[in-house]
């Protein structure tokens, strides 16, 4: 059988749209069994149905990654299924705005989803991977893990944190045979700008992003990068991948 991930179980967070959805499709096409999570259950169900019709084994979990007890309960359910081989730690939100505007609820939201949510998902699977001495954790950070822009302060702070967590986890996980990859996309054409609550900033981001589609990546481009990292032999760990649209500065 030529399929790359036959017999592997992969959990994709934020699978209801964008990069997570594209990655779920790519994994299913390569034979992986899937656990799909996000808040919007209907979206997950329709994706699951599509993938099942193509022969995939798909399990759906409607859960908010920032809900610690719900994530712990999901971790226990996954452990009782035998754990997961691959975590695509992708759920994220980007309600950016200038710090002067003091949109504190949105700061909390980004910290809760983009940092705490990433940690809760790692916590849900990592000890099982360590026991089985195998596993691959792929965290989706951003180019905002390496640089920042006006209005992106808190978002970039969360993504710098994800990158730091990835780098630390990779070093710690070596002795367990667990690999860690940090994926850093540039602009990707997804629903992410819809999470911006600041009307003017949302308008600017959307007109920049959608004004010139050729200057943006598609979710499938990031799914390809994830597959590349996952398909390497066990002795190779792709630590990080920075993927720009060719025309993005």
DSSP H helices, 85-210, are 104-110, 117-132, 153-173, 199-210
97 Cβ contact partners less than 8 Å away, ≥ 6 residues apart: 103, 106, 151, 196, 197, 198, 201
Asked if residue 118 lies in contact with residue 106, where contact means CB atoms within 8 angstroms, the answer is no
Copy the structure tokens of residue 231: 């398909």
Copy the structure tokens of residue 110: 């980004």
Q: Which residue from 49, 76, 131, 191 is in contact with ligand NDP, where contact means CB under 6 A?
A: 191
How far apart (Å, rounded) are the C-alpha atoms in residues 203 and 196? 9
Helix axes 219-231, 18-29, angle to 10 degrees: 50
68 lies in the site for ligand NDP, by CB under 6 A:
no
Catalytic, 210? Answer no
132 lies in the site for ligand NDP, by CB under 6 A:
no
Mask of contacts with ligand NDP, 82-101, x by CB under 6 A?
--------xxxxx-------
Our CB check for ligand NDP shows the closer of 85 and 112 to be: 112
Q: Which of residues 110-129 bind ligand NDP (CB under 6 A)?
A: 113
Q: Which residue from 9, 10, 11, 16 is in contact with ligand NDP, where contact means CB under 6 A?
A: 16
Nearest to 193 by CA among 178, 177, 175, 207: 207
Copy the structure tokens of residue 93: 């939100």
23 lies in the site for ligand NDP, by CB under 6 A:
no
- Measured from the CB of residue 67, what is the shortest distance to ligand NDP in angstroms? 8
Residue 93: DSSP 8-state: -
Give me the catalytic one of 120, 126, 155, 210.
Answer: 155
How far apart (Å, rounded) are the C-alpha atoms in residues 123 and 96? 27
190 lies in the site for ligand NDP, by CB under 6 A:
yes
146 Cβ contact partners less than 8 Å away, ≥ 6 residues apart: 160, 163, 184, 242
Our CB check for ligand NDP shows the closer of 131 and 213 to be: 213
Copy the structure tokens of residue 136: 């691959």
Q: Which residue from 97, 142, 166, 181 is in contact with ligand NDP, where contact means CB under 6 A?
A: 142
Mask of contacts with ligand NDP, 43-62, x by CB under 6 A?
x-------------------
75 lies in the site for ligand NDP, by CB under 6 A:
no
- Measured from the CB of residue 244, what is the shortest distance to ligand NDP in angstroms? 10
Mask of contacts with ligand NDP, 201-240, x by CB under 6 A?
----------------------------------------
The continuous run of DSSP H or E covering 24 comes out as helix 18-29
Q: Which residue from 78, 140, 156, 225 is in contact with ligand NDP, where contact means CB under 6 A?
A: 140
State the catalytic residues. Answer: 155
Q: Which residues bind ligand NDP (CB under 6 A)?
A: 14-20, 38-40, 43, 64-66, 90-94, 113, 140, 142, 185, 187-188, 190-192
């Amino acid at each position: 059988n030529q399929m790359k991930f036959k017999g592997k179980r992969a959990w994709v967070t934020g699978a209801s749209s964008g990069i997570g959805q594209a990655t779920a499709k790519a994994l299913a096409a390569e034979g992986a069994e899937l656990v799909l999570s996000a808040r919007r259950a209907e979206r997950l169900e329709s994706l699951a149905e599509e993938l099942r019709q193509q022969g995939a084994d798909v399990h759906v979990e409607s859960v908010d990654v920032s809900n610690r007890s719900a994530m712990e309960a999901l971790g226990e359910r996954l452990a009782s299924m035998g754990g997961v081989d691959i975590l695509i730690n992708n759920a994220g939100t980007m309600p950016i705005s200038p710090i002067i505007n003091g949109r504190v609820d949105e700061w909390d939201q980004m910290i809760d989803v983009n940092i705490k949510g990433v940690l809760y998902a790692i916590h849900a699977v990592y000890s099982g991977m360590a026991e089985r001495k195998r596993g691959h954790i792929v965290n989706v950070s951003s180019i905002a893990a390496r640089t920042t822009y006006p209005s992106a302060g808190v978002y970039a702070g969360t993504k710098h944190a994800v990158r730091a967590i990835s780098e630390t986890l990779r070093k710690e996980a070596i002795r367990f045979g667990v690999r860690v990859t940090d994926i850093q996309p540039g602009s990707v054409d997804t629903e992410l700008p819809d999470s911006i609550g600041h009307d003017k900033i949302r308008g600017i981001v959307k007109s920049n992003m959608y004004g010139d589609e050729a200057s943006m990546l598609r979710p499938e481009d990031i799914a390809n990068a994830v597959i590349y990292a996952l398909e390497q032999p066990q002795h190779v760990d792709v630590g990080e991948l920075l993927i720009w649209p060719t025309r993005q500065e």
